[in-house]
Amino acid sequence: SQQGEEDPQALSIQEGENATMNCSYKTSINNLQWYRQNSGRGLVHLILIRSNEREKHSGRLRVTLDTSKKSSSLLITASRAADTASYFCATDSGNTPLVFGKGTRLSVIA
Amino acid sequence: DTGVSQDPRHKITKRGQNVTFRCDPISEHNRLYWYRQTLGQGPEFLTYFQNEAQLEKSRLLSDRFSAERPKGSFSTLEIQRTEQGDSAMYLCASSVDPSGGYTFGSGTRLTVV
């Protein structure tokens, strides 16, 4: 089963614009993570936010978490063509394996 | 270690044949996970190990699937009597902290014809 649902399913933007992807989940979580996957490759860990945190930054990435709404957002600022990939949120509920959403396919057009 | 290694990268097999995949995790990572991913979907959890102990198996893991991690190092995932519905990308990941980030391998793409 998949816990998270990303929105939108697909997003196409121009290089330099910001990209925002949202994730909603169903049950209480311990941590929420975001991963990137280039076509046909494995996933790359981007950022982890704990349930007691509200916002986290890493380079051009900004993640927010609203546990009352069971939602998170990933913002990529000043996007580049190399950011073209699928982005997944994943959650754990303590000592449990990550459960992934279906992902958002981001296309950044040069 | 340069990361998580999976072998083979691609496997084409005939329906009914058995296949085995291998995963070599990052050596200091004691947790190892197997996921399956089909086109347009997110990874779906199959099973995971802490050291050599298999701690959880998904309902997706039918009795045709078996995974091992002898000596807590590399892991193998075997699928017996493959079916066309088994066609997918099989991803392996490892982590040192159960609540930390995972390092994924590049996956094994299985095509059952």
CB contact under 8 A, A43 and B106: no
Reported confidence tier of residue A3, pLDDT bands at 50, 70, 90: low
For testing contact with chain A, the best of B99, B106, B108, B109 (most A CBs within 10 A): B99
| The pLDDT value given to residue B91 | 98
Categorise residue B51: left if φ over 0, alpha if ψ from -120 to 50, beta otherwise.
left
Mean pLDDT of all residues belonging to chain B:
94
Cα B2–chain centre separation: 18
What's residue A94's pLDDT? Answer: 81
A to B CB pairs, distance under 8 Å = 62
Contact A43 B56 (CB under 8 A): no
* Cα gap B104→B4, rounded to integer Å: 6
pLDDT in tens, B71-113: 889 999 999 999 999 999 999 999 998 778 999 999 999 999 9
Searching chain A, which residue's CA lies closest to the CA of residue B4? A42
| Proportion of chain B above pLDDT 90, given as a percent | 88
- Nearest Cα residue in chain A from B10: A40
Q: Is A4 on the interface with B (CB under 8 A)?
A: yes
* Residue A48 touches chain B, beta carbons under 8 Å: yes
Q: What is the pLDDT of residue A2?
A: 53
**Neighboring chain A residues of B33 at a CB cutoff of 8 Å:** 97-98
- Measured CA to CA in angstroms, residue B100 lies from A47, A75, A97, B12, B43 at distances of 10, 21, 10, 34, 17
Query: Hey, are the CB atoms on A88 and B42 less than 8 Å from each other?
Result: yes
